[in-house]
A and B are shown apart, each in its own frame.
Chain A
């Protein structure tokens, strides 16, 4: 399997904070892979995803996309974001434009595409995400699920090979979540890779091919869900045993 995204020994501490958020994180994502990233709040999932998109620069370590070490100059970042797309938890943070069509066109135009190509990308991404009927609508008039799909279309219009989703399904109802997972399936069928940060263990078990568990800025486990959820040693090490049993350990409030 071709490795598309590789993170090597990533260390990061936010300015002004004494506590590092990432402590030597290493992981990889293969072409066409569906990987779930789980971990408690504050475990470093979002920070890791921001590194994978070049938003944050690590104190140590590197991110490779398709075997190339990524740089942080404007041109390098443009090439990076052409290949790695990131969708956020709250679509309201992502949708800046008053019009759906204009918002989706933002990424393609930033890639330097012509208006006609960008228009085509908008149409394709909208069709893939089922939001073609919303293109003329104002973004503020959309429902939560529609906003999430439009936000996804805005990222997919850049045609990334890797999609990072930071708890993008967490605010959706079960039906909309299924809809989003169906879109993810179509992307995977096109050979794209998806890294989904989530707290939903049902989605992890049923959708992911591999699960990466993080705690306190470190990767504790990286295994297929069937193996992870049946291995008592792995469950104990990752703290998932309590979640699976539905019992809080005595040392947690």
Chain B
């Protein structure tokens, strides 16, 4: 999480209006979902990968590694769609492999369906990568605030995001303290230390929340975490870029 966060903060388009970046990513995701052609997903991956690297300034190896991991995950997810397992021989028209009494089979329809599913999901994932790697979480929260999402939800997201890092920090310190006293020297000790760490973190989170409540009250908190909206750069060229991406994906989706 912190790595994604770091890339998002150092992205070249960090200060671009998150509404523009989210709009582009959302359109790509919608097109991937509604256009039933694998070329759309492939086109989306190419567009989004390119924009993340050349426009967003995220290193190519980073984007490549993220995409590869997601692609492998998606491949695993469609194994059930591609392959059929049966104790009886498959019907005519299926390619099959017999392993003892077990028949593993597939056919062209299953492969096409799996290809479509993978390409759709991969295209949508690439659009999400673009957003996640170029837009810090606080910008997305700020966008939700502008979109008039419930303040309670926004406040919760804000504080939870902050607490994730505070608790990760606590967890690191407690684990180090345990290690220094051989807390993870044996499997049995490791189990015990992990349990103690989890319970300690729970108490820590509770105590911190109490102290944060006090600190917020000292700055005039009365139930609403009001903060200033962030400043962003609004770039008219993004609309042209978005239009180019949308038109090319529509063309890829309509070609027979």
Chain A residues with a Cβ under 8 A of chain B: 50, 53, 55, 74, 77-78, 81-82, 85-86, 88, 90, 92-99, 101-103, 105-107, 109-111, 115, 118-119, 122, 137-141, 154-155, 158
Contact = CB atoms under 8 A, between A and B. Distances in A.
Contacts of A90: 211
A33 B185 CA distance: 54
Contacts of A155: 218-219
A94 B212 CA distance: 6
B68 interface: no
A96 B228 contact: no
Interface of B: 5, 9, 136-138, 141, 158-159, 161-162, 165-166, 169, 208, 211-212, 214-222, 225-230
A97 B225 contact: yes
B230 to A, nearest CB: 7
With most chain B CB atoms within 10 A of its CB, the pick from A86, A88, A99, A154 is A99
Nearest to B168: A140
B158 A97 contact: yes
B138 A98 contact: yes
A109 B138 contact: no
Nearest to B217: A55
Nearest to A140: B165
A98 B208 contact: no
B220 to A, nearest CB: 3
Nearest to B14: A136
A137 B9 CA distance: 8
B219 A97 contact: no
B166 A107 contact: no
20 contacts: A81-B218, A81-B220, A85-B218, A88-B215, A90-B211, A93-B208, A96-B162, A96-B212, A97-B227, A99-B227, A99-B230, A105-B228, A106-B225, A109-B227, A110-B226, A138-B9, A138-B138, A140-B165, A140-B166, A158-B220
A102 B230 CA distance: 8
A86 B219 CA distance: 8
A78 B220 contact: yes
Contacts of A86: 218
A55 B220 CA distance: 10
B162 A98 contact: yes
B165 A99 contact: no
A86 B217 CA distance: 10
Contacts of B137: 98
Given A106-B225, A109-B226, A140-B166, A96 B218 contact: no
A228 to B, nearest CB: 29
Contacts of B208: 92-93
Nearest to A93: B211
A138 B215 CA distance: 19
A96 B208 CA distance: 11
A221 B138 CA distance: 48
A93 B219 contact: no
A95 B162 contact: yes
Given A78-B220, A138-B5, A97 B214 contact: no
A137 B211 CA distance: 23
A158 to B, nearest CB: 7
A77 B217 CA distance: 10
B226 A106 contact: yes
A55 B221 CA distance: 11
Contacts of A138: 5, 9, 136, 138
B9 A141 contact: yes
Given A97-B162, A106-B227, 4 more contacts: A55-B217, A81-B220, A122-B228, A138-B138
Contact of B166 (A85, A92, A105, A110): A92
Contacts of A102: 138, 227-228, 230
Contacts of A92: 166, 169, 208
Contacts of B141: 98
Contacts of A77: 220
Contacts of B219: 81, 106-107, 110, 154-155, 158
Contacts of A78: 220
B162 to A, nearest CB: 6
Nearest to A98: B138
A68 B159 CA distance: 35
Given A50-B214, A55-B217, A102-B138, A109 B9 contact: no
